[in-house]
Structure 1
Amino acid sequence: MKTSILFTKRLQLRIVTLSDLSKIHELLSMPEVDQYNALGIPTNKEVTAVYLDEWIDSYEMRKEFVFSLNSIVDDSFIGLVSLKIGNPKYSIASIWYKLHPDFWGKGYATESTKVILQFGFKEVGLHRIEAGCAIDNIGSIRVLEKVGMIREGHKRKVLPLKAGWSDNYEFAMLEEDWQNG
Structure 2
Amino acid sequence: MKLLLQTERLIIRDYQKEDSEEALGFLGNKEAMYYLPEEVMTYEEVASFIKKQETKKEYYAVVLKETNQVIGHLYFTAFFGDHSYEIGWVFNPKFHKKGYASESAEALMDYGFKELGIHRIIATCQPENIGSNKMMGQLGMRLEGEFKQCIPVNNGWWDENYYAILVSEWTQKKA
User: TM-score, with normalisation over the residues of structure 1?
Assistant: 0.88
How far, CA to CA, are the matches of 1:109 and 1:160 in structure 2?
26
* Offset at residue 51 of structure 1 (A): 2.0
Residue equivalent to 2:74: 81
- The worse-fitting range, judged by mean Cα deviation, of 48-57 and 90-99 is 48-57
Matches within 5 A, 1:41-52: 41-42=40-41, 44-52=42-50
Is the deviation greater in 158-167 or in 23-32? 158-167
- State the alpha-carbon separation in 1 of the partners of residues 160 and 126 from structure 2: 4
Q: Measure the CA separation in 2 of the matches of 1:164 and 1:138.
A: 20
Q: 2:32, 2:91 within 8 Å by CA — same for their partners in 1? A: yes
Aligned equivalent of 2:116: 124
Q: Spell out the pairing of 1:49-88 with structure 2 (5 A cutoff).
A: 49-59=47-57, 64=58, 66-88=59-81
Question: Which shows bigger deviation, 79-88 or 135-144?
Answer: 79-88
Gaps of 5+ in 2: none
Q: Per-residue deviation at 1:163?
A: 7.8
* Alpha-carbon distance, 1:71 to partner: 1.4
Structure 1 stretch 121-130 or stretch 70-79: which is displaced more?
Answer: 70-79
| Superposition pairs of residues 12-23 of structure 1, within 5 angstroms | 12-23=11-22
- Following superposition, the deviation at residue 50 of structure 1 comes to 2.9
For 1:34 and 1:154, locate their aligned partners in 2 and report how far apart those are by CA, in whole Å.
Answer: 21
* 1:149 maps to which of 135, 141, 148: 141
* Residues 93 and 129, structure 1, Cα contact 8 Å, conserved in 2: yes
Partner SS state of residue 167, structure 1: strand
Q: Helix, strand or coil: the match of 1:148?
A: coil
> Counterpart of 1:117 in structure 2: which amino acid?
M
Q: Write the distance in 2 (CA, Å) between the matches of 1:154 and 1:27.
A: 27
Q: How many residues are paired up?
A: 173
Identical pairs, percent? 28
Unaligned runs of 5+ in 1: none
Out of 71-80 and 98-107, give the one that drifted further: 71-80
Partner of 1:32: helix, strand, or coil?
A: coil
Instruction: Answer yes or no: is the 8 Å Cα contact 1:133–1:170 preserved in 2.
Output: yes
**Inter-partner Cα distance in structure 1 for 2:76 and 2:36:** 16
Measured against aligned partners, the alpha-carbon deviations of 1:15-51 in whole angstroms (never above 9, x if no partner) come to: 1111112222332111101110101112x33322332
- Computed over aligned residues only, the root mean square deviation of the Cα atoms, in angstroms, reads 1.7
